[in-house]
Structure formats: structure tokens, C-alpha cells
């Protein structure tokens, strides 16, 4: 039986170039929810490190992830719902974001390294250089069934991906 109450937040996750910001933004519009780009919660030191082509360490990520989790909690307490774009590549990262809540769902944007590399090569003006993609795939731990993820292929037009997410969101869990 499907839960009649929608989650307070959807965390749209995947490697750089998978379409997190685009998909999360369109999904937020479709649902009438707030959109939050997790990248804006990175401290300046993280942005500088990534811009220099250096992958972040877990120690770099913990305060960033906690800031996003705190924002989800703040919005939820205010009765708002949000779609958050956040890489959330490891289970430990997602555990910080979800922190035991059953009203936060993970949306996994699943695509091949080749497909995403092509997208990154065409992208301009983003702080994540394409050369870090391999490290992102090495770090990626796809969500497991016990995380109740909504998993979608990114090898489709944006609106079709959003349609798939909305359909799965409404399906029994």
C-alpha cells in the first residue's frame, strides 16, 4: 500500500554531470516544492579544492552534508517540502542526509561513465572539471534496496526522467 503522505524531501543524487540540478529543479517545479542545490552548501575551501582538480575527502564532505541535512530539517519543521540536488555518492553520506528519517527519499540518477563524460565535455562554467569523473565513479556506492531509492536511467529526455520519478514516487514502497 502506498504511503499517502509524500516525503518532506527528495535527495536527487548521482555523479557530476548526471543531471542532478536540472532534474531536481524540474521535479521541484512539477511537485510544487522548493528546489535546493546542494552545491551552494559547500564551504569555499571545498569549491577551491574541486576547482583545482582535487577530489574532496570524507573530512571535507562531513560539514557540507550536515549543512544540507540541517536545511532539510529546517524546511520540514517549517512545513515545506524540498527537492535537493546532492551527489551523495556513498551510503555514509546518504545516512547523514536521511539520518534515520523515513520521510526523506533518495532519487538515484543512474547513467554510464561514457554517457556522463560526453555531457561533462560539453558543459561550460562549472567548478567540477571532467577529469574528476573517474574518481566519482570509483567513490559511487549505488543505493541499496533498504534505502528505498527511486532509481531512474538518465538516458532519456529530462521530462521523461521526471515522469519516471513521479510515477515511482506514487508507487507502493
pLDDT confidence of residue 4: 54
- 36: which strand partners? 84
d(CA 133, CA 55): 10
> 127 falls in which pLDDT band (50, 70, 90)?
very low
User: Cα angle at 149 between 168 and 128, to 5 degrees?
Assistant: 110
At residue 110, does pLDDT exceed 90?
yes
pLDDT confidence of residue 2: 45
Mean pLDDT of all residues in the chain? 90
CATH architecture assigned to 10-170: 3-Layer(aba) Sandwich (3.40)
pTM assigned to the model: 0.90
pLDDT, average across residues 46-56: 84
Q: List the alpha helices (DSSP H) in 36-131.
A: 44-51, 58-77, 91-98, 113-122
Q: Which triple of cell numbers denotes residue 19?
A: 543531471
Amino acid at each position: 500500500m502506498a504511503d499517502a503522505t509524500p516525503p518532506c524531501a527528495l535527495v536527487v543524487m548521482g555523479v557530476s554531470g548526471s543531471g542532478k540540478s536540472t532534474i531536481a529543479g524540474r521535479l521541484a517545479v512539477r511537485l510544487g516544492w522548493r528546489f535546493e542545490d546542494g552545491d551552494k552548501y559547500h564551504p569555499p575551501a571545498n569549491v577551491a579544492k574541486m576547482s583545482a582538480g582535487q577530489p574532496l575527502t570524507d573530512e571535507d564532505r562531513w560539514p557540507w552534508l550536515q549543512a544540507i541535512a540541517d536545511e532539510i530539517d529546517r524546511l520540514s519543521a517549517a512545513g515545506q517540502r524540498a527537492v535537493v540536488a546532492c551527489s551523495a555518492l556513498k551510503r555514509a553520506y546518504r545516512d547523514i542526509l536521511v539520518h534515520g528519517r523515513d520521510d526523506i527519499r533518495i532519487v538515484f540518477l543512474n547513467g554510464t561513465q561514457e554517457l556522463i563524460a560526453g555531457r561533462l565535455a560539453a558543459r561550460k562554467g562549472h567548478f567540477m572539471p571532467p577529469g574528476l569523473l573517474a574518481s566519482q565513479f570509483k567513490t559511487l556506492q549505488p543505493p541499496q534496496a533498504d534505502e528505498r531509492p527511486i532509481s531512474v536511467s538518465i538516458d532519456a529526455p529530462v521530462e521523461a526522467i521526471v515522469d519516471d520519478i513521479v510515477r515511482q514516487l506514487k508507487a507502493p514502497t
